[in-house]
A = this chain, B = another copy of it.
Amino acid sequence: MSEIFKALADPTRRRVLQLLRERPMTAGELAEQFPFSKATMSAHFAVLREADLVASDKRGTSITYSLKLSVLEDGLLAFAETLGIGTSKVRASTIISTEEKG
């Protein structure tokens, strides 16, 4: 649980997850989108891997990362439940709207 929140605490890593939501991408493709060295980005990927938020698929010379959305969902929901939010054990992917915001 701590590992998930630590992973999410960095804006670069949140942005990586957001990019991976669109489609799986290689480490290089991801790194291109940020103003940091590939080594630094590699360290960010390692944190996301540790938190089990991404899967890495080594193919040939490059590594493709993809988002493990259910791990993220389940993690956030598990936490929400410890606070009594969403006590009804809903899966996020099936939430339906009951009230519009704003």
Q: Give the interface of A toward B (CB within 8 A).
A: 1-2, 5-6, 8-11, 14, 17-18, 21, 69, 72-73, 76, 79-80, 82-86, 88-102
Contacts and interface: CB of A to CB of B under 8 A. Distances in A.
Contacts of A10: 2
Given A90-B95, A90-B101, 12 more contacts: A1-B14, A5-B6, A6-B9, A14-B82, A17-B83, A69-B85, A85-B93, A88-B96, A90-B97, A90-B99, A94-B98, A95-B95
A89 B2 CA distance: 26
Contact of A97 (B1, B8, B17, B88): B88
Task: Name the 3 nearest CB pairs between A and B, nearest first.
Answer: A88-B97, A5-B9, A5-B8
Contacts of A21: 83-84
B99 A18 contact: no
A56 to B, nearest CB: 19
27 contacts: A1-B11, A1-B14, A2-B9, A2-B10, A2-B11, A5-B5, A5-B6, A5-B8, A5-B9, A6-B9, A14-B79, A14-B82, A17-B83, A18-B82, A21-B83, A69-B85, A72-B85, A73-B85, A85-B92, A86-B95, A88-B96, A89-B102, A91-B99, A94-B98, A94-B99, A96-B96, A96-B98
